[in-house]
Structure 1
Amino acid sequence: MRDLIELAARVGYGARGFVYLSVGVLILLASVDLIGGAVGTKGALDWLAQRPLGRVWALLIGLGLAAFVMWRLLQAVFDADHEGLSLNGMGRRLSQLFSGLSYAALAVAAFGLMAGAPADPAGDGVAQSQARAAAVLALPLGQWLLVAAGLAIFGVGVSNIVKACREDFTEYLACSKRLCRRVAPLARAGHVARGLAYLPLAGLVVLAGLDERASEVTSFGSALEAVERQPAGPWILAAAALGFVAFGAFSFIEARFRRIRPPRELKSPL
């Protein structure tokens, strides 16, 4: 069982790396106008699903992400990384739990693509985002709930940037000090890119809440396209793309060298 858990975790890190590497490459191609527009993680899955053997890609990525979700749950609930019950440890485990939930949603989306990719992935993503925003606005205090959602997205972005500055990304790697020094910048660049990429979307969601107009909400990829239309936008987008590629590359490093310590007993210390 321990060997199976370790294998699943490594496959999961590899699947995450493949998704972010795909996102980075597609954003880079969009920045030089070789494809229609920038995409996020869901958009990258949609794009892959439209290629030859698209359903096979969707199945493999979905299984890999499901394995990663399992590992995130072991980290968060069963304390696989031995973080303990300190304030810092609980903060890390809570972050791992939310990460697991987000990748669970992405895995579900990947399995859904086995039925066929949307004809217009970009337009479909915007429509879904606007439908969710309209549903929130229809609730009591919906305007402020949407503002809160935008601030939460902003918080996720800022937390990634703070993590890039403060985290020791080599702590859990079983590799030489020389190799660790070389790969740590990949993780820092990747987290900065992820953090900055969330900020335009957060701003649009907050404005949509303040204006009470769901039509102002857009998708992750469309928010990046708005950045591209600004002065020096293509350069900013290209830098973000390289950051996503770096994050994907570091995920592959984790798939190979991360210390995977399955819990001795599947019993929550909580």
Structure 2
Amino acid sequence: MGTQSWALHGRFKARRAADSKAMVVAARSGFAARGLIYVLVGVIALQIAFAGDGGGQQADRGGALGELADKPFGSVLLWVVGIALAGMGLWRLSEAVFGGTGPDGSKLSKRAANAGRFVFYAFLSYSVLSYAAGARGSGSGSSDKQSDDVTAMVLKWPAGQWLVGVAGLVVVGAGLWIAFRAVQRKFREDLRVGEMSKRTRQVTDFLGVTGGSARGLVFAVAGVFAVVAAVQHRPGKAKGMDDTLRAFRDLPAGPWLLALIALGLAAFGLFSWCNARWRKI
């Protein structure tokens, strides 16, 4: 067999691995794990809305992991979540390399986006698994402190204010785009809608629109805080997810507004579980 034939054979085997049942299970497990994290964040945010401090927990990934760790068999749950998120990362990597489902799945922009998602989920999985292994400062670090530290570091760079400002605008745009796509129900393109009952479609649509809009709003507001930090050259103005959510509580009728957003984030978690069942993979 010639060199070219070996290369073609290797690509064929890699493509089959990417389409294997194991990869399908990995992707669906990843959606389930993401959903669990968002549901827990939503529950903590709901507690913050009316109890003030959410029982001392952070309404972010770290707080969600802390909630899991405190449950019976919490360590096992953390390992399961970390491994499931690694599966999500591998699936995103396969879509970046071989292209995803649908007519646009092989476009360069789609591949690049999936490559970025792979990096994100690889880091997320590593942090969760490190936390499960005992490195408590890894996965559970406050998103607010991380935002402050990163913003302070970048502001010291040449043109640091511009970099932070542009990054903030990008996050604002991403948040608005997430919310827009949710309202337009673009997520239907990635789901096996034809296999759903009418009731299932209605519930999935509601969760997708509500959850995606809430998630996009939180992203956009966090981006606004980053822009403010850049303009005022004050790293403390940048906020992670926890502080961003708490900022809603400080507005008029804030507790009720935060409660709605908290329910929206929990809805996104439930929507992720719908993806675990109905996503095209």
TM-score range, shorter chain: 0.7 to 0.9
Structure 1: unaligned runs, 5 residues or longer? 261-270
Q: Which amino acid aligns with 2:80?
A: L
Rounded Cα–Cα distance in structure 1 between residues aligned with 2:104 and 2:186: 18
Aligned ranges for residues 216-255 of structure 1 at < 5 Å?
A: 216-255=237-276
Rounded Cα–Cα distance in structure 1 between residues aligned with 2:49 and 2:137: 23
**3-state SS of the aligned residue for 1:32?**
helix
Shift of 1:153: 1.3
Rounded Cα–Cα distance in structure 2 between residues aligned with 1:222 and 1:8: 32
Equivalent residue, structure 2, for 1:39: 59
Gap change, CA 1:138 and 1:128, over 3 Å in 2: same
Gap change, CA 1:181 and 1:50, over 3 Å in 2: closer
Structure 2: unaligned runs, 5 residues or longer? 1-16
Shift of 1:193: 0.5
Q: Deviations over 1:178-210 (max 9, x none)?
A: 122331121111110001112222121111111
Q: Deviations over 1:226-247 (max 9, x none)?
A: 1111111111111111111111
Report 1 or 2 for greater relative contact order, CA contacts < 8 Å, sequence distance ≥ 6: 1
More helix, by proportion: 2
Gap change, CA 1:99 and 1:191, over 3 Å in 2: farther
Rounded Cα–Cα distance in structure 2 between residues aligned with 1:130 and 1:168: 34
Aligned ranges for residues 107-256 of structure 1 at < 5 Å?
A: 107-114=125-132, 115-118=134-137, 124-171=142-189, 172-173=191-192, 175-178=195-198, 179-256=200-277
Rounded Cα–Cα distance in structure 2 between residues aligned with 1:201 and 1:169: 23
Rounded Cα–Cα distance in structure 1 between residues aligned with 2:104 and 2:39: 32
Counting matched residue pairs gives 256
**Residues 1:27 and 2:45 aligned together:** yes
Rounded Cα–Cα distance in structure 1 between residues aligned with 2:209 and 2:108: 22
Rounded Cα–Cα distance in structure 1 between residues aligned with 2:251 and 2:58: 14
Shift of 1:42: 3.6
Given that 1:27 and 1:37 are in contact with CA atoms closer than 8 Å, whether structure 2 keeps it comes out as no
Gap change, CA 1:30 and 1:37, over 3 Å in 2: farther
TM-score (norm. length: structure 1):
0.85
Q: Deviations over 1:77-99 (max 9, x none)?
A: 3113144478xx54444433333
Rounded Cα–Cα distance in structure 1 between residues aligned with 2:127 and 2:117: 15
Gap change, CA 1:181 and 1:215, over 3 Å in 2: closer
**Residues 1:78 and 2:98 aligned together:** yes
Identity score, percent: 32
TM-score (norm. length: structure 2):
0.82
Higher gyration radius (CA):
2
